Structure 1
Amino acid sequence: MREMLSTTTPLTERMTLFWHNHFTSSQQKVRSIQLMAHQNSLFRQQASGNFGTLLHAIGRDPAMLLYLDNSSNRKGAPNENFAREVMELFTLGEGHYEEQDVKEAARALTGWSVERDTGEFRIRPAAHDTGSKTVLGVSGNLDGDAMFDILLAQPACAEYLVAKLWREFISPTPDPREVRRIAGQLRDSHYDIKTALRELFLAPAFWEVNNRATLVKSPVELVVGTLRQFRFSYDDPLPFTFAIGQLGQNLFNPPNVKGWPGGDAWINSTTLLAREAVLERLFRATERPAARAQVMMQDGAKLPGQQALGREGKIQFANAVTRIGFDAHAWLAEFGSDDALVPDLRQRLAIQRAVLAREPSAPTNAALHGSAYLRSLVMDPVYQLK
């Protein structure tokens, strides 16, 4: 959370989170924060690097091997979990492989394991199946690396990845023709992720007005985006970590191997109210610290999937809340407005364009002074969209 809030390379952090939700692992099953941190570092190193390199590395990642049970995958008793998810969720998508391909891929991954004492990746030769295997029509004494190369060679792999990036950055409905075009560029670049991102960000669809406000902000995007855009001051990111957890995105603990479903699934009658409550509490940073702490302390009671804060944790949480600040005067000054004044029409429209992806869902009160007008925009449901 601190890295996302302070980084000078936000796209790197955005892509690190994207890969965390693509190559999903969970702390609840892995039970080693060191291995999860190592995996997170891998995602950051290859955030916009090379997908092929990342795929091969994730095949040797201890957290992934533990999460998808490949540490127990051995000759004569293959475990198909990792092989299946590599095809279905990581590279090809449903409909581009057969059940027999999964079985053969699992054999290729036998013996790829984890040293329990050190948490290091180990290939156990005695557990590896050296017999001939056939994956997607390619036969031979395949190991995990050879199997990954077969997957990367499939046109469906690049198209699957580009479509997922499209849903992350442009709209919920990828354009098949554009996906094929960009996927071709991705394959020609030998899976250079920057190439795909550049093509996506320069595509007309990325700038199309009709694609604005078609995607729902994830809890991380909502909270981190708000804190960065409005330049909130803080000492400790603990309250923000609790906030996104309560909104359903407990980092390092996605719900299952498919990750957070995202999109419209982020919003329902309960979560919308919770999101608005988080924003309301954040923008109370102009109130007295003691009152702010009392209001937000309920956020520190318990993080989903975690134990309740002890006395010291509650004190840390309360102290952190009192140090959250928002300088409305300085932020509004960039638009020629002021916290104590009612902005004119030009100023209101400029602030609105900076805050919302499209027109607000309800008319705003033109008589509101600067910070009140700003809060009315942030509390509008359109603020939940990107």
Structure 2
Amino acid sequence: MITLRLLRASRTSRSIYPTFLLVAAVLSSVAATAVAQPIGMQDARFLLARTGFTPQTSEVDQYAQLTRQQAVDQLLVQTTRAASTPAPAWTGEALVPYRTIKDKSDEEKKAFRENEQKKAFELRGWWLREMLVTPSPLTERMTLFWHNHFVSAQQKVKYSQLMYRQNILLRQHALGNFGAMLHAVSKDPAMVIYLDGANNRKGTPNENFAREVMELFTLGEGNYSEQDIKEAARAFTGWSIDGDTGEFKWRPRIHDEGSKTVLGRSGNFDGDAVLDILLAQPACAEFVVSKLWREFVSPNPNPAEVARIARHFRDSRYDIKTALHDLFLSPFFWDLGNRGTLVKSPVELMVGTLRQFQFSYDDPLPFTFAVAQLGQNLFNPPNVKGWPGGEAWINSSTLLARKSTLERLFRATEHGARMTTQPNMANAPSTKMAQPNEAQSIAFKSALGKIKGQGALGREGRIQFANAAAMISYDPNSWFAQFGVGVDALPTPAQRIAMQQALLPLEPTAPIKSDLTGTALLRTMVLDPVFQLK
């Protein structure tokens, strides 16, 4: 079994670009000087890969001329609060109340379920497309981060409209104020349904939300007691939803008006008051910063640095950009020892590969199934704790599945498929593409077979899946041209090093043969386990 430990061990293997590593080591010893100088191509690529998805060379060029301070400032200032991809038409439709479904026939109920499932597929495709075309990858990375922090899942929520609304809410607050987001998400209808808030009423409090808001959203284990949970649950009574509209609804008749004691403070608290008490705890800022550290820096947070950043975070009244600014300018973030220590999630692997190589596609449906098969089904985290991430993404089965997925993506080029024009991933993809050849038509055959077995898409959906998979392609000539080499030419050592640095954060696990050219060379680099790291 190939483990992350084995991947990291590759750093001790024979380097094909020792000069770069030597220079980087020298620079790290004079960090004060480096901070005031342009970060260069390699550091720019590292910054953009860690804070977004694998960048294209054109994106790296823009940041390479900036200092660390300038690069981080630019990264944060260009973030957005809304998606650029038009939402599916049904997101504006009224919900069909549950109570009306109960009285329908079995056939009507089945039709309703199938329609919701179709919407679910479209919703995943919509978000994945947004990740592919967004002008601010950090915004989508943070939206995904909060999706895995404030967890809810469509499997229980049912309504795609509510999951869509929550996604919009998370993006709106993704780089805003954590306190405001906590209050908003706590009243979000999808969250109320997922954590049984509608069943929380005076006399029979439901503790699910009170427990998770402390353990998973704000404080972490060990910073509250079971009695705190019981008291807080009473404060959240009355938070419900309107069964007809799906909107949040306050029901004062089922709210417990009695005095509660939470974390040493007593009073006639409602839910908002309890949330403010949680935000006032020093443990809250440290808990959130520690999670951000594991997302962007390394698996093992440095306690002193976390405490420092958390103090600034609290002093800013939980301004998320303040925390990220400190995190991205921390010497630990730039430390060479922390590079290649994080594993790309399935979404990062898929979206990053598609963006970096400027793949052309018509419908993102195959990509949504690919990331789900790799363990990250968007809008459906496995449980209330979300996807564990980190080394949990990599094991003998998932590493093989990742390799197989990448092989299918690049298979068309092995049969001579070429695009006549270079796609522009900064805009919505064009539907004017080359007709699918045999190689493209079979590229996702094995994945489609799994979908057929599930019966999830239905016949129409399976045809859509097959057609969409057949239209996936990219232009290898354009990619190789960035490095001044033809797709079938033997690259010089310098060109090979440049390509390797663009694809791998560390040295490959095995030396790459010097006589490889074109897709054989590219395939060797992409299928190396180090490609899974960032």
Superposition TM-score tier, normalisation by shorter sequence: over 0.9
Pair 1:354-2:502 in alignment? yes
Which has the bigger relative contact order, CA under 8 A and spacing at least 6?
2
Residue in 1 aligned with 2:485? 337
Structure 1 counterpart SS, 2:148:
helix
Pair 1:376-2:524 in alignment? yes
Residue in 2 aligned with 1:218? 345
Cα distance in structure 2, aligned partners of 1:37 and 1:169: 26
Cα distance in structure 2, aligned partners of 1:76 and 1:231: 58
In the TM superposition, what is the alpha-carbon distance from 1:317 to its structure 2 partner? 1.5
CA contact (8 A) 1:163 1:179 kept: yes
Cα distance in structure 2, aligned partners of 1:285 and 1:143: 59
Question: Which of 44, 47, 61 matches 2:171?
Answer: 44
Structure 2 counterpart SS, 1:326:
coil
Structure 2 counterpart SS, 1:214:
coil
Q: If the length of structure 2 is used for normalisation, what is the TM-score?
A: 0.71
Question: Which of 101, 104, 117 matches 2:244?
Answer: 117
In the TM superposition, what is the alpha-carbon distance from 1:226 to its structure 2 partner? 0.5
Alignment of 1:92-241 (within 5 A): 92-241=219-368
Alignment of 1:212-291 (within 5 A): 212-286=339-413, 287=415, 288=417, 289-291=437-439
Structure 1 counterpart SS, 2:240:
strand
Cα distance in structure 2, aligned partners of 1:281 and 1:313: 20
Cα distance in structure 2, aligned partners of 1:304 and 1:297: 10
Cα distance in structure 2, aligned partners of 1:302 and 1:110: 44
Please list the CA deviations of residues 58-114 of structure 1 after superposition, one character each: whole Å capped at 9, or x if unmatched: 111010011000111000000000000000000000000011100011000001011
Cα distance in structure 1, aligned partners of 2:136 and 2:267: 43
In the TM superposition, what is the alpha-carbon distance from 1:301 to its structure 2 partner? 3.6
Distance 1:307 1:36, change over 3 A: farther
Question: Which of 153, 162, 167 matches 1:26?
Answer: 153
Paired letter, 2:227: Q
Paired letter, 2:174: A
Structure 2 counterpart SS, 1:339:
coil
In the TM superposition, what is the alpha-carbon distance from 1:304 to its structure 2 partner? 11
Unaligned runs of 5+ in 1: none
In the TM superposition, what is the alpha-carbon distance from 1:313 to its structure 2 partner? 1.7
Q: What CA RMSD, in Å, does the superposition of the two structures yield over aligned residues?
A: 1.4
In the TM superposition, what is the alpha-carbon distance from 1:303 to its structure 2 partner? 5.4
Paired letter, 1:92: L
Pair 1:322-2:449 in alignment? no
Cα distance in structure 2, aligned partners of 1:316 and 1:50: 41
Cα distance in structure 2, aligned partners of 1:11 and 1:314: 33
Question: Which of 193, 203, 206 matches 1:76?
Answer: 203
Distance 1:384 1:203, change over 3 A: same
Question: Which of 447, 456, 461 matches 1:313?
Answer: 461
In the TM superposition, what is the alpha-carbon distance from 1:305 to its structure 2 partner? 12
In the TM superposition, what is the alpha-carbon distance from 1:306 to its structure 2 partner? 6.5
In the TM superposition, what is the alpha-carbon distance from 1:25 to its structure 2 partner? 0.2
In the TM superposition, what is the alpha-carbon distance from 1:22 to its structure 2 partner? 0.3
Cα distance in structure 1, aligned partners of 2:486 and 2:243: 60
Cα distance in structure 2, aligned partners of 1:305 and 1:138: 55
Cα distance in structure 2, aligned partners of 1:349 and 1:298: 34
CA contact (8 A) 2:440 2:472 kept: no
Equivalent residues, number: 386
CA contact (8 A) 1:219 1:247 kept: yes
Distance 1:252 1:302, change over 3 A: farther
Cα distance in structure 2, aligned partners of 1:25 and 1:36: 8
Distance 1:305 1:130, change over 3 A: farther
In the TM superposition, what is the alpha-carbon distance from 1:311 to its structure 2 partner? 2.4
Structure 2 counterpart SS, 1:22:
coil
Choose 41-50 or 324-333, whichever is displaced more.
Answer: 324-333
Distance 1:384 1:101, change over 3 A: same
Cα distance in structure 1, aligned partners of 2:303 and 2:412: 45
